[in-house]
Structures are given as C-alpha cells and as structure tokens.
Amino acid sequence: MDFSGNFFDIVLWTIWFMAVICLIWIWIRVIFDLFGDHATGGWAKFFWTVFLIIMPWLAVFVYLLARGKGMQERTMVAAQQQQAATDNYIKGVAAQTKSPAEQIADAKGLLDSGAISQAEYDSLKAKALA
C-alpha cells in the first residue's frame, strides 16, 4: 500500500486550507480598515470593495502595499482613543465614589429620618469604615 501519495495530499490540503484562512482573516481586516477610515471617500471604498471581491489575493496585497502604513497608524490611533475613553470612564466612576465620612453621614440621615434601624445604621457604618 502506498501512503506517500495520501500524506502529500494531506499536506497540500493543509497548506491550501491555511492559505484560505489567512486570506479570509487579512481580507476581513482590510475591509474593517477600509470602512473605518473616515478620510477615504465613498467611491474609493466602493472600488476597493469591488477589487477585493473580484481579485481578493491581488487586492489584499495591493492594499497592504498602498495603505499598509496608514493601516497601522489608524489602528494605533483607535487603540489610543479606546484607552483614553476607558481611562475617562474609570476616573468618572472613581469620582462618584463617596468617602467613608459621606457614607456615614448619609446613613445617619437615613437613621434620623427613620428609614433604617439602628442595626442597619451600624452595618452601613461598619461597611463604610472597612
């Protein structure tokens, strides 16, 4: 029985499968970059998309050669904007946190108004001081 033909067929199919997966991944990345670029006009996006559909391998390589540097810059700017938004959100949430003294004062106000019992007040006070 000759298994060498089967082995090389498996290797060949594996290479083709990986090439197709890589093409799809790069193609999707190029599509996201193309439509995420606000400086590119609608007609340019249209022609790039048609080119990507008609000749995907060639279009991806041409896109990477023509716009690869800008792709990296847009990715870095987007990452920095996302990081800034996250930092602003964290700062905003942290600023909303009350100090232990404010929490105890609020609990004391609730106790004085009769909204909570002495045991609940003591629990809130202990939690604020912890």
Residue 2's pLDDT is what?
54
State pLDDT tens for residues 22-75.
Answer: 989 999 999 999 998 888 899 999 999 999 999 988 999 999 999 888 888 888
SS (H, E, C) 30-45: HHHHHHHCCCCCHHHH
State pLDDT tens for residues 81-116.
Answer: 999 999 998 888 777 677 788 888 888 888 888 888
Residue 65's pLDDT is what?
92
Are 51 and 27 within 8 A, CB to CB?
no
Residue 4's pLDDT is what?
61
SS (H, E, C) the chain: CCCHHHHHHHHHHHHHHHHHHHHHHHHHHHHHHHHHCCCCCHHHHHHHHHHHHHCHHHHHHHHHHHHHHHHHHHHHHHHHHHHHHHHHHHHHHHHHCCCHHHHHHHHHHHHHHCCCCHHHHHHHHHHHHC
